[in-house]
Structure 1
Amino acid sequence: MSPLPSAAMPFSPWEMFLNAGPVVRMVMSLLAFASVLSWTVFLAKSVEFFRLGRRLERDTRSLAEAASLQIAEERSRATRSVAHMFVAAAEEERIRSHDIADDHDGLKERIVLHLERLEAAEGRRLMRGTGLLATIGATSPFIGLFGTVWGIMTSFTGIAASKATSLAVVAPGIAEALLATALGLVAAIPAVVIYNHLARQSATCRAQVADLTALVMRLVSRDLGRMQMLTASGQVVHFGARIAGE
């Protein structure tokens, strides 16, 4: 059986990449790198969200069982979890608001504002790196299209220079150019899907952080209520103090 003529030889994607022009080859390399980058971000953020979700669930259970802010703070320091929230709440009363007259409503408002800032910072940290996925998903199809247009222009320029009108002459060049569009879609579609998936995971974690903030404020309100009762009875107690018998 005689071998196929060279014009009819099947092209593999790797052969098409090697036979492409320098501009199309650079476009293909860029798209392949973008695809690898998308999957790298997916794996890294998935591990991060999985660990964070388990830690937040543990912290939520611990907070729900705590009877005062000081007890919750001690537990969080032992587990190295959300101690910064308790430190922020305690420091607001002990350091920043120590020279302000006894105003429980004002103190709670200042603590809420501080915790909201911490919560917003945590949300920004959770989404760090995912913006790259949005950029890849939005630009990859157009980068691949640019490589395709450039490759087809090069093929037709070659036809004009060789004065050959056979489709067999231009087909390999067009196939190589269309490969750039295919790679653009291969890079863009997973990037968009991964971005949406990570956005949902981030929203779940932000909701858990919001639950923790609410639990901290519940402890703050509980401690302030105890302070009012003990102050009315003539006793002196510090904000967040451990309850007798705990």
Structure 2
Amino acid sequence: MAASPIVFITGASSGIGEALASHYAAHGAVLGLAARRSETLQTLSGKLMQLGAQRVACYPLDVADAAALDAAAVDFIATTGIPDIVIANAGVSSGTLTECKEDLAIIRRIFDTNVYGMAATFAPFIEAMREKARAGLPGRLVGIASVAGIRGLPGAEAYSASKSAAITYLESLRLEMRPSGIKVVTIAPGYIRTPMTAVNPYPMPFLLPADEAARRFARAIERGVSYAVIPWQMGIVAKFLRLLPNAVYDRLFANAPRKPRVL
């Protein structure tokens, strides 16, 4: 990892985002943190400075607000420099059922955050990062997807579809960025111990603590890998599921436990 990396992270106030911010702070990073909860961001900022961050800039915003992200990017670049790493981590999850009309608003919210919000996070940084790459300092655009995007899960139409869309979007972006030297890294986490997974009413195999997950994510980001499932055991499971014929998959998963319908 480069000395004092400049890192911008969305969804930074809890879970994976907070763990990544803490990891990079301990390496003396300059951090830009975006999340909806202003007070939580400010509290986290003080903690990160104690861990060793050189500077922490906080941006209370919703990633579905592209104008707010654009303004944050302009300010962050002007005050700290062009980032080495931009991590689109913000995400929401909920059980959803298409048959329930009241879930349609939740479905839209999930896509706005998990897919549109990812593109809106990267968009204002790309031009500046291209310039930095031309100077011999190629950066990383990192999207946090999920193994839930490998195959559709019952009762999670929106979440599975949004993460599948994120994986495909990141693949397309990787091809677009290739000539510039900017690496696009897709990370598909399995089960990570966070507030998001705390509500899951079913066993979660290979569950990782958030801080350990962040260390593994950071290693993948540093290497500039195109795609990584973390933990690796879930990668084997994902490959197996991808190969299953629909008839077999349907029999195995039709009655699988559902995520609660709460956002």
State the TM bucket, normalised to the shorter chain: under 0.3
Q: Give the structure with the higher percent strand.
A: 2
What TM-score do the two structures reach when normalised by structure 1?
0.26
The TM-score, its normalising length taken from structure 2, stands at 0.25
Specify which structure has the higher proportion of helix.
1
Q: Which has the larger radius of gyration?
A: 1
- Which structure would you say has the larger RCO, counting Cα contacts within 8 Å and 6 or more residues apart? 1
